[in-house]
Amino acid sequence: MTAPLRTGEPIVVTVPLGARSYDIIIGRDLLGSLGARIATLRPNAKAAIVSDETVAARYMTSAEAALAAAGIAASHIVVPVGEGSKSYPIFLQVCEAVVASRIERGDLVIALGGGVIGDLAGFAAATVRRGLDYVQVPTTLLAQVDSSVGGKTAINSSHGKNLIGAFHQPVLVVADTALLDTLPPREFRAGYAEVAKYGLIGDAAFFAWLEANWRQVFAGGSAREHAIAVSCRAKAATVARDERETGERALLNLGHTFGHALEAAAGFSDRLLHGEAVALGMVLAFAFSARRGLLSVAESERLTRHLADVGLPTGIADMPGPMPAPDRLMELIAQDKKVRRGTFTFILARGIGQSFVAPDVDPADVRAFLEDTLAAP
């Protein structure tokens, strides 16, 4: 998956799902082509754009102009920034606004924003009028390489993250890498955790490439587009083989079982961004794997070193605010969607690029690991 870098024409990655296949278009300055691409897919369709306050202030005018140039009538719905918008009240607000805009079954919802907006708008599209088509226009690195691809849509519950949702594939993903130029450094780093994840799951060569080239990925240009394309190809292939996460697709949750628990413990707040939680979760998953004798401590430390070099948190103590208690983390892990009959399923590793699904992990082992980790200086 470390093909030569490309420049110039957009990179097209197809998610092969038969009649529901769709393309991910990756490149710079693609927002202006949004209307033409949608008009080709859905002639005469109207659109409702869902965005957050920050993204709307920057890009809504350009998005609406691109749609208008292609003769697409559009309305927009703007919600507050942050994970708090993945909630019942905001979900209801979006659904009612889509209905009020007279969007019909042949029309579209457009998710213009990061992972929160993609999940929220996608879930609204899955439910309004029993299912509308939608287009993802991801504006963060995390969304471009992960949450915009694969059809997972959801809102959060008081019991945990992404517990209420649906599988609902988009009809198009337009990943304009120029939109990442205005992304705050912390947000870009958080998204990079999901890029590194693809190397850790099954592509050791890509992880080594990232170790050597991550600065160029951060700087932009062809290295950034290459990293996004490799990530999207990896996810597209996995989704095609296991769309509804009955087996192999669970590998994409590397770091997420620990990470979601930490994110919930932080109150789904700016204390810990999702990608930061994933980074911590991957460090914990590799450390737990090493503790179980599955890989060497050196391999675990290699991951920790790379994420630290990038500027991501690598220890629970790096979280601002009070440390979560082991009991609270265990309670949150028990709500993970991969729990089966009281036993935990984790994504563990035998080395860089050698992750696997580990069912029937004893909760007592997890508790002991967390207690020791939290007690360490």
Q: Provide the annotated active-site residues.
A: 130, 152, 194, 235, 245, 249, 253, 256, 260, 274
What backbone torsions phi and psi does residue 233 show, to the nearest 5 degrees? -65, -40
Instruction: Evaluate the CA torsion angle 320, 323, 326, 327 in order and state its sign.
Output: negative
Cα dihedral 214, 219, 223, 228 in deg (nearest 10): 80
CA-based nearest residue to 35, from 60, 68, 75: 68
What backbone torsions phi and psi does residue 99 show, to the nearest 5 degrees? -65, -45
Residue 4 is classified by DSSP as P
Three-class SS of residue 75? Answer: strand
What backbone torsions phi and psi does residue 14 show, to the nearest 5 degrees? -100, 135
- CB neighbour class for 118 (10 Å; exposed up to 12, middle 13-18, buried from 19): buried
Number of neighbouring beta carbons within 10 Å of residue 163: 15
Q: What is the rounded CA–CA span in Å between residue 255 and residue 239?
A: 18
Three-class SS of residue 36? Answer: helix
